[in-house]
């Protein structure tokens, strides 16, 4: 029997760094700090470095120690983590109903342009299944 490692549940700050690393790919702490500083002027290099080290310890990041400075990369693909977090959210907040999640999103968080794009996708999917 193979035991799988549970998918991590990153904090908001960890998600900020993961988002940067998904965009950059592999990066050193200074590169991550510079990217974060564009969004948050209050970011400090020491905090970013420490957070990257902690995330590596939690298994969220890989670290290439064969070069200096060390480079960090996400241990999970963005889509895999998003899918896992979304499943957890649907289970906990929407009583397991994906429909309830989608209806809430459509009512509150989707622009007219996004709604039009979603309708096109659904029509294509319906036509493909017919």
Strands 27-28, 71-74: pairing is antiparallel
Residue showing tokens 């970011």: 43
- Give the pLDDT band (50/70/90) at residue 1: very low
Please state, as a whole number, how many other Cβ atoms lie within 10 Å of the Cβ of residue 13: 16
For residue range 44-92, list pLDDT tens digits in order.
Answer: 999 999 999 999 999 999 999 998 999 999 999 999 988 888 998 999 9
Q: CA 85 from chain center: how many Å?
A: 9
Quote the mean pLDDT of the chain: 89
* Strands laid side by side in the 61-64 sheet: 27-28, 71-74, 61-64
pLDDT of 2: 41
Please state, as a whole number, how many other Cβ atoms lie within 10 Å of the Cβ of residue 49: 18
Q: CA 77 from chain center: how many Å?
A: 8
């Amino acid at each position: 029997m193979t035991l799988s490692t549970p998918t991590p549940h990153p904090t908001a700050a960890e998600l900020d760094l993961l988002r940067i690393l998904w965009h950059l790919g592999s990066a050193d702490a200074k590169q991550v700090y510079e990217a974060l500083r564009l969004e948050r002027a209050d970011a400090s290099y020491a905090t970013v470095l420490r957070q990257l080290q902690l995330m590596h310890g939690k298994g969220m990041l890989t670290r290439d120690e064969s070069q200096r400075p060390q480079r960090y990369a996400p241990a999970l693909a963005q889509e895999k983590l998003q899918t896992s977090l979304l499943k957890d959210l649907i289970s906990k907040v929407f009583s397991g109903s994906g429909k309830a999640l989608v209806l809430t999103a459509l009512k509150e968080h989707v622009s007219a342009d996004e709604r039009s794009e979603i309708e096109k996708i659904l029509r294509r999917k319906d036509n493909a299944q017919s």
